[in-house]
């Protein structure tokens, strides 16, 4: 009996404009009748080419993942999609989904995730649409999807039973084929094609103490496949490996605050030579060595500086990119090594044209994201393997020694991000406005012995397609010496979050191993008074420092 396509009448929701990385809301918002359906139909109505196409669908396994996937399957079948590739159990990490879109030449994909945000009935949920090539939809496309969502009056759905997703195999839904696959194999094959697995295997077989924390999120099965099955690490080196719908009640944000136990073991107890963690959907990473934390900006710079140790970049890289708030450690490497460096707005999608055009091979962000041209998303496990590859190539040197050698060559960009969470939109705007209003008169002023050389609101023109993005954050630049950046987060699900980014370069050898907060304390005071943070927010300190 063939299933019937139903056309359901609906009315618009006014909050379906996507943020930095897809539409992120509380689970309960997504559970409203028609909410997810409206957004998905708006995508089908806006982006051409779904008829007869192949799509990839999966998510980070968080609460509501399975329900949302069944909705998308039924809608895809009703909208003429020919085939959907779904991760077993509905699970796909964000980078693995990007890889599948590329490998199977899919028209695009839906990735269900709210990244590192907590999950569960009171937690967060999200959806992002990726295009052919595996990158997130451009701002022009998401603007068009939003416009469509504001006039939507119906969506199409196939009336059919849920498709079983727990086992690998093929099923049909109306005229559509549903291929349930184990994406850990595809992903591990890709990683094996990029890195020197023999050298990493030898490193892990030595007395090298290694741990990876999957934080009960999506990377557990991928990490087990890679580190244990392909690289011979002991099974207990992959921790919290089982993806859970509530992430075990944790906050799968790999940083010193939310992965504090791992950090304590590596940094304070010095009980691990190398440790790493990844986030809810597997695109973020945190890197630790014995006694040291590698800041995301440094991680990007060190990987780029040593790119030729990665077999696929043995002949060097054409260029690398960072998002504007990310530390300028990368720029120092590019200047010395002679490759091109690009500065883009926050959001991985801004790297994609540069990657597609072959202008850059490596890119990264301060928000614990690093990646390369192998996919069009950041990739937590790629970054871990890049570091293992480097440690294997420079066997005998500890991670701390590699970092110190890097700082001696390029200087050290001390870096901190101060988040002010759950502000009202008015408070956040008032802080932005008070700094914005001073920008024109700041150049030339000397504060705390540092002279401001430029102050502006960052805007970007894409060098490949000429598209532009304005209002991407406020910058106060003290030459190469220091920088203060202020912007509003585009990923929150309640209230407004302000991010204050502080960076200061130190190059003398005695200054390379100071506590970060000690170096940045004076700059932090300058930033607080410039932005009038206390006055405008009533807060005397940030909610989170990373
Ligand atoms: C997303 C984006 C990143 C961005 C980060 C933080 O990451 O993909 O490009 O740096 O959000 O954005 P914001 O500062 O606007 O909150 P993820 O890992 O959350 O998908």
Atom of ligand 1 nearest to the CA of 20: 15
Here the tokens at position 397 are: 């040197």
Tell whether the model's pLDDT for residue 451 goes beyond 90: yes
Residue 413 β-bridge partners: 505
Atom of ligand 1 nearest to the CA of 350: 9
Atom of ligand 1 nearest to the CA of 22: 20
286: enclosing H helix or E strand: strand 285-289
The 10s digit of each residue's pLDDT in 466-479 is 999 999 999 999 99
Of 218, 348, 469, 542, the one to substitute when testing ligand 1's pocket (max ligand atoms within 8 A of C-beta) is: 348
Tell whether the model's pLDDT for residue 2 goes beyond 80: no
How much distance in Å is there from the Cα of 387 to the middle of ligand 1?
22
How much distance in Å is there from the Cα of 492 to the middle of ligand 1?
10
Read off φ and ψ for residue 388, nearest 5 degrees.
-60, -40
pTM comes to 0.95
Q: What local confidence, expressed as pLDDT, does residue 160 receive? A: 92
- The gap from C-alpha 385 to its chain's centroid, in whole angstroms, comes to 16
List alpha helices for 306-398, DSSP H: 329-337, 349-356, 380-393
Rounded mean pLDDT of the chain?
96
Q: What residues are in contact with ligand 1 under a 6 Å CB criterion?
A: 20-21, 115-116, 283-284, 323, 346-348, 365, 367, 369, 489-491, 499
The 10s digit of each residue's pLDDT in 21-39 is 899 999 999 999 999 999 9
Where does residue 316 rank: exposed (0-12), middle (13-18), buried (19+ CB within 10 A)? exposed
CB atoms within 10 A of CB 329: 28
Of 365, 368, 546, the one to substitute when testing ligand 1's pocket (max ligand atoms within 8 A of C-beta) is: 365
The 10s digit of each residue's pLDDT in 509-540 is 999 999 999 999 999 999 998 998 888 898 98
**Pairwise CA distance, residues 475 & 426, whole Å:** 21
How much distance in Å is there from the Cα of 133 to the middle of ligand 1?
20
The 10s digit of each residue's pLDDT in 226-255 is 999 999 999 999 999 999 999 998 889 998
Q: Band of the pLDDT at 19, cuts 50, 70, 90?
A: confident
Q: What local confidence, expressed as pLDDT, does residue 163 receive? A: 96
**Residues noted as catalytic:** 115
* Residue 437 CB partners (closer than 8 Å, separation 6+): none
**Pairwise CA distance, residues 275 & 444, whole Å:** 44
Of 19, 471, 491, 496, the one to substitute when testing ligand 1's pocket (max ligand atoms within 8 A of C-beta) is: 491
Per-residue pLDDT, averaged over 398-420, amounts to 97
Q: What local confidence, expressed as pLDDT, does residue 1 receive? A: 42
The 10s digit of each residue's pLDDT in 55-84 is 999 999 999 999 999 999 999 999 999 999
Q: What percent of the chain has pLDDT over 70?
A: 100
Atom of ligand 1 nearest to the CA of 94: 20
How much distance in Å is there from the Cα of 139 to the middle of ligand 1?
14
Residue 87 CB-half CA count within 13 A: 33
Q: Are strands 23-26 and 83-91 parallel, antiparallel or unpaired?
A: unpaired
Beta strands in 4-107 (DSSP E): 4-9, 23-26, 54-59, 83-91
Q: What local confidence, expressed as pLDDT, does residue 21 receive? A: 86
Q: What local confidence, expressed as pLDDT, does residue 489 receive? A: 94
Tell whether the model's pLDDT for residue 164 goes beyond 70: yes
CB distance 90 to 165 below 8 Å: yes
- Domains of the chain: residue spans and CATH: 4-181 (3.40.120.10), 186-408 (3.40.120.10), 412-545 (3.30.310.50)
Q: What local confidence, expressed as pLDDT, does residue 516 receive? A: 95
Tell whether the model's pLDDT for residue 493 goes beyond 90: no
Q: What local confidence, expressed as pLDDT, does residue 40 receive? A: 98
The 10s digit of each residue's pLDDT in 323-376 is 999 999 999 999 999 999 999 999 999 999 999 999 999 999 999 999 999 999
CA neighbor of 375 nearest in space, from 90, 88, 130: 130
Return the residue whose CA atom lies nearest to atom 9 of ligand 1.
Answer: 347
Per-residue pLDDT, averaged over 33-58, amounts to 97
Q: What local confidence, expressed as pLDDT, does residue 3 receive? A: 78
3-state secondary structure of 250: coil
How much distance in Å is there from the Cα of 260 to the middle of ligand 1?
21
Per-residue pLDDT, averaged over 143-148, amounts to 97
Tell whether the model's pLDDT for residue 114 goes beyond 70: yes
**Pairwise CA distance, residues 335 & 293, whole Å:** 25
């Amino acid at each position: 009996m063939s299933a019937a396509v139903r056309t359901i009448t609906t009315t618009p929701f006014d909050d379906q404009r996507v943020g930095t990385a897809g539409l992120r809301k509380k689970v309960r918002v997504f559970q409203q009748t028609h909410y997810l359906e409206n957004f998905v139909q708006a995508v089908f109505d806006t982006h051409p080419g779904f008829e007869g196409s192949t799509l990839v669908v999966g998510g980070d396994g968080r609460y509501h993942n399975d329900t949302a996937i069944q909705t998308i399957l039924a809608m895809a079948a009703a909208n003429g999609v020919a085939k959907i590739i779904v991760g077993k159990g509905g699970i796909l990490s964000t980078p693995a989904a990007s890889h599948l879109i590329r490998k199977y030449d899919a028209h695009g994909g839906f990735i269900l995730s709210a990244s590192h945000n907590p999950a569960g009935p009171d937690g967060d949920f999200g959806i992002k649409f990726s295009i052919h090539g595996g990158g997130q939809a451009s701002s022009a496309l998401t603007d068009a999807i939003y416009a469509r969502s504001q006039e939507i009056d119906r969506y199409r759905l196939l009336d059919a039973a849920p498709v079983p997703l727990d086992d690998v195999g093929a099923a049909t839904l109306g005229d559509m084929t549903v291929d349930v696959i184990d994406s850990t194999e595809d992903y591990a094959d890709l990683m094996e094609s990029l890195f020197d697995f023999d050298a990493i295997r030898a490193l892990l077989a030595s007395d090298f103490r290694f741990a990876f924390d999957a934080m009960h999120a999506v990377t557990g099965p991928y990490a087990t496949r890679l580190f244990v099955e392909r690289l011979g690490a002991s099974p207990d080196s992959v921790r919290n490996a089982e993806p859970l719908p509530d992430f075990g009640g944790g906050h799968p944000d790999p940083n010193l605050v939310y992965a504090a136990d791992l950090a304590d073991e590596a940094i304070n107890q010095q009980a691990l030579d190398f440790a790493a963690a990844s986030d809810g959907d597997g695109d973020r990473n945190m890197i630790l060595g014995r006694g040291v934390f590698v800041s995301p900006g440094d991680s990007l710079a060190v990987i780029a500086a040593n790119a030729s140790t990665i077999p696929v970049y043995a002949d060097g890289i054409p260029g690398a990119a960072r998002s504007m708030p990310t530390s300028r450690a990368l720029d120092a490497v590019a200047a010395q090594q002679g490759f091109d460096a690009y500065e883009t707005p926050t959001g991985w999608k801004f790297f994609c044209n540069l990657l597609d055009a072959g202008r850059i091979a490596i890119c990264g962000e301060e928000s614990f994201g690093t990646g390369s041209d192998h996919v069009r998303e950041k990739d937590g496990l790629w970054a871990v393997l890049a570091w293992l590859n480097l440690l294997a190539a420079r066997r005998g040197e500890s991670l701390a020694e590699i970092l110190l050698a890097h700082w001696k060559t390029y200087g050290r960009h001390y870096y901190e991000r101060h988040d002010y969470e759950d502000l009202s939109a008015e408070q956040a705007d008032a802080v932005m406005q008070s700094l914005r209003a001073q920008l024109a008169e700041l150049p030339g002023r000397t504060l705390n012995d540092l002279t401001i050389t430029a102050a502006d609101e960052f805007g970007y023109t894409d060098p490949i397609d000429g598209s532009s993005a304005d209002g991407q954050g406020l910058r106060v630049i003290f030459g190469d010496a220091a920088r203060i950046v202020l912007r509003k987060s585009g990923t929150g699900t309640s209230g407004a979050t302000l991010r204050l980014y502080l960076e200061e370069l130190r190059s003398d050898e005695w200054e390379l191993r100071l506590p970060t907060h000690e170096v940045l304390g004076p700059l932090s005071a300058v930033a607080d008074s410039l932005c009038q943070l206390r006055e405008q927010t009533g807060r005397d300190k940030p909610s989170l420092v990373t």
